[in-house]
Structure 1
Amino acid sequence: MRTHQALAFLLLFVIASGASENASTSRGCGLDLLPQYVSLCDLDTIWGIVVEAVAGAGALITLLLMLILLVRLPFIKDKEKKDPVGLHFLFLLGTLGLFGLTFAFIIREDETICSVRRFLWGVLFALCFSCLLSQAWRVRRLVRHGKSPSGWQLVGMALCLMLVQVIIAIEWLVLTVLRDAKPACAYEPMDFTMALIYDMVLLVATLGLAFFSLCGKFKKWKQNGVCILVTAFLSVLIWVAWMTMYLFGNAELRQGDAWGDPTLAITLVASGWVFVIFHAIPEIHCTILPAPQENTPNYFDTSQPRMRETAFEEDVQLPRTYMENKAFSMDEHNAALRTAGFRNGSLGNRPSAPFRSNVYQPTEMAVVLNGGTIPTAPPSYTGRHLW
């Protein structure tokens, strides 16, 4: 009995000590979680949990699209669809990086986190915008000439365009952190925005080139140009909104420090989902979709005359006319032989002329009945030569 009482007392002591320790931590987080990552599970900061869930779902969808494209790659036979597969993977990789970078703006900042934020923000957006610009160039070539650049040219163009932003980001970090010995987190919103001017140039160039991709004679590729145009236009709206809020709106509302990270995190999530819905999914669907067969008849197309595409008419209608004409000629020929035989008293003394089904041959009976003149051809034989 005393043993049971001792165990019960020990259990109550453990529960009470755990409750006292949990009271000092954030609601929804564990006991051993570092304070730096409290925002990932703190139920009091609901924006972090919502953005985290949406970013996680976007990351899973992006990984699923990459897996689908990888599995279907051996079955893609069309050269114009197989060339940009590497560019699709590069774009999905950049989109996955945007969803992953969202978590860096949810957790508490330090020197390492701030350096990652400042470097990867511009580089990842430059990668996505470079891929969109390369895709716009490809679609423009397809719409006008029916041929696209090779896959290596598309990937090389995107990487070279992204490399410019990599140099800008490295130079900015070196000048502000190493040379001036300033903390990585001590930067003004205007400095952060000015370091992204090259990304804005890529976005505007993509939007302009997407307009030109809608003009051309190969209309089947114009739907790809429409997807790029919609993606670029929505990205412009997102960038105008977040820069306005980040530079001026938060200061006007006196929430500059509190709303800075949520503004940037929401921008990353919104941009990532725009890339997935309006560009990645349509492009992958168009890539893995088998090309329609050119010989397949389109019975709903009324712009062209209907042609005979089966052997039914040839086997039934044409031989029927031929057999009627042949039967008519054979009957006439037999009647002429009988008449000649009765006149000469014999049916086999007079040789017969060779039978030709396509020439109207008047018989002797027909000449006698017509008064000694050669009759004209029947209506079905009008226009044919005699003999």
Structure 2
Amino acid sequence: MGKAVAPRGCRSDLDARYHRLCDVGVAWGVALEACAAAGAAAAACAALWLAGAAGRVQDPSRRRALPTLLLLLAALLAQFALTFAFLLPLDGATGPARLVGFSAAAGTGFAALLALAVHAARLARGRPALPGLGLLALALGLGLVQDALAVEYVVLAMNRTRADVFAAMPAPRRNEDFVLLLLFAMALLAATLAAAALALRGPFPAWRRLGARAGLTALLAAALWASWIALLLRPEPGPQWDDAVLGAALVANGWLFLAAFVLPEFLQLTKQRDPRDYPAEDAPCQPRLLTPRLGLHNPAFTSEEAQTGPPAPGASPHAPYSTHFQLQDRAPAQEFSIPRAQAWPSSPYTDYDGRKGGR
């Protein structure tokens, strides 16, 4: 068997497995490589900028989210790098790498987005933020669940036979298993939408905007995933078309996260802390919404109309609008008067004319 002729753009001594990486006649491969390389460079530059700008972040709540945001950038970088595995032919080496790599990158990215949405929901509703390590542990834990599912599937599939199981498996069956394995990642998207909806109901605008960005990113990612899954489950195009669909899905998902979430969040990181984005310091001392209590609800205050009649003989009366002291009837007190001077009805000098009597 003669040696395969190198296509235009490739060296003559290059292995035939790598011809698709340099074949300029395969337009979709060249475009996919360019987009993936540009996305990987953008994600790497963003991660370096984030590491350098961490000291300039003044808001402590945003500073706590930096490790999780850095994890998201690492997942996006892995997605762009994994695109090149879908340009190589499917064999015993690229098959497990595609399956495990796609699951790990997608699961970690969606888990980091969910953790940031939960962070926004707590702050938007006036609750204290989770610690930075707590957010990172939440994202890593959820991402590791998807990784464990992928690794377990690969181990079980390769133990059933020593042959090249992924290349020998029919394309419809392989695609169905691929989609079923990513159901947990889709569940993470749904949970992100729920957390974003909770954030939108909070009273603090900055964290509502963060939740809205997370929800919009999850919504667009769900639409993108529905599109490539619908294309992948169609058996007509063929295995090479399947590679193009999966590679394009990785690149599109990475750029979507960069444009819809990472870049707007970077613009907010170095802004000064706004007191309006947090509850007032004396908020725990402020009166809460209380149910108004009328006099009828309090047993100490009873309406006079509720009394059916006069108290029984010998019973002590009860004052309804006073303390619980009992009032008793007392005998009427005797009347006392103080004599006051009164004027005579007529003056004794009325008939006096200045003479003695008899003269």
* TM-score, normalised with respect to structure 2: 0.72
SS in 2 for 1:262: helix
Amino acid in the other structure paired with 2:115:
S
Aligned partners of 2:200 and 2:116: how far apart in 1? 13
Question: CA separation in 2, counterparts of 1:264 and 1:169?
Answer: 16
Q: Which residue of 2 aligns with 1:58?
A: 39
Partner of 1:334: none
Q: Distance in 1 between matches of 2:240 and 2:133?
A: 45
TM-aligned CA distance change 1:222 to 1:293, over 3 Å:
closer
Asked if the contact 2:58–2:270 (Cα under 8 Å) also holds between the matched residues in 1, the reply is no
Alignment match of 1:280 (pick from 249, 252, 262): 262
1:31 deviates by: 2.3
Residue identity matched to 1:121 = F
| Equivalent residue number for residue 224 of structure 1 | 210
Find the counterpart in structure 2 of residue 269 from structure 1: 251
Letter in 2 for 1:106: L
> Deviation at 1:147?
2.9
- The SS at the match of 1:147 is coil
Are 1:87 and 1:155, in contact at CA under 8 Å, matched by a contact in 2? yes
Q: 1:72 to 1:203 in 2, by over 3 A?
A: same
Q: How far apart, in 1, do the equivalents of 2:18 and 2:272 lie?
A: 47
Tell me the residue number matched to 2:158: 177
| Overall identity of the aligned pairs, in % | 32
Partner Cα distance (1:43, 1:159) in 2: 39
2:231 maps to 1:245: yes
- TM-superposition CA deviations, 1:93-144 (whole Å, max 9, x none): 0000000000000122221111100111111111001001101100000100
Q: Give the Å deviation of 1:185.
A: 2.8
Q: How many residues align?
A: 270
d(CA) in 1 for partners of 2:108, 2:136: 11
Q: Residue type of the partner of 1:77? A: Q
CA apart distance, 1:184: 3.1
| Matching residue of 1:143 | 124
Give me the whole-angstrom Cα distance separating, in 1, the residues matched to 2:4 and 2:106: 41
2:185 is aligned with 1:203: no
Contact 2:57/2:270 (<8 A) preserved: yes
SS at match of 1:185: helix
Per the alignment, residue 41 of structure 1 pairs with 22
CA shift digits 1:168-213 (9 cap, x unpaired): 1111011111234452333421111111111111111111221111
Q: What one-letter code is carried by the residue in structure 1 that aligns with 2:147?
A: V
Letter in 2 for 1:208: A
**Alignment pair present for 1:168 and 2:149:** yes
Match of 1:9 in 2: none
Alignment of 1:1-387 (within 5 A): 24-145=5-126, 147-182=128-163, 183-187=165-169, 188-248=174-234, 251=235, 254-291=236-273
How far apart, in 1, do the equivalents of 2:44 and 2:86 lie?
21
Residue identity matched to 2:50: L
CA deviations over 1:260-292 (Å, ceiling 9, x no partner): 100000000000000101111112221123346
Indicate if the aligned counterparts of 2:120 and 2:210 stay in contact, CA closer than 8 A. yes
Contact kept in structure 1, 2:67 and 2:136, CA below 8 Å: yes
C-alpha distance in structure 2 between counterparts of 1:246 and 1:288, whole Å: 42
**SS of alignment partner, residue 166 of structure 2:** coil
Number of the residue aligned with 1:303: none
Question: Is the CA contact 1:99–1:268 (under 8 Å) kept in the aligned structure 2?
Answer: yes
Asked if the contact 1:39–1:48 (Cα under 8 Å) also holds between the matched residues in 2, the reply is: yes
Check the 8 A contact 1:69/1:288 in 2, yes or no. no
Q: Is the 8 A contact 2:231 2:245 kept in 1?
A: yes
CA contact (8 A) 2:58 2:271 kept: no
8 Å Cα contact 1:87/1:154 also seen in 2: yes
CA distance in 2, matches of 1:128, 1:186: 30
More helix by share: 1
Aligned to 2:13, what secondary structure does the other structure show? coil
Question: In 2, are the aligned partners of 1:133 and 1:205 still within 8 Å (CA)?
Answer: yes
Q: Which moved more, 1:262-271 or 1:142-151?
A: 142-151
Following the alignment from structure 2 to structure 1, what is the Cα–Cα distance between the partners of residues 89 and 203? 54
Question: Deviation at 1:146?
Answer: 5.2
* Letter matched to residue 236 of structure 1: A
Alpha-carbon spacing, 1:244–1:23, altered in 2? closer, same or farther (3 Å): closer
- 1:23 is displaced (CA, Å) by 10
Q: CA deviation at 1:293?
A: 8.6
Q: CA-to-partner distance for each residue in 1:45-81, whole Å, 9 max, x for gaps?
A: 1100000000111111111111111111122232111
Where structure 1 has 5 or more consecutive residues not aligned to the other structure, the ranges are 1-21, 295-387
Partner Cα distance (1:63, 1:257) in 2: 31
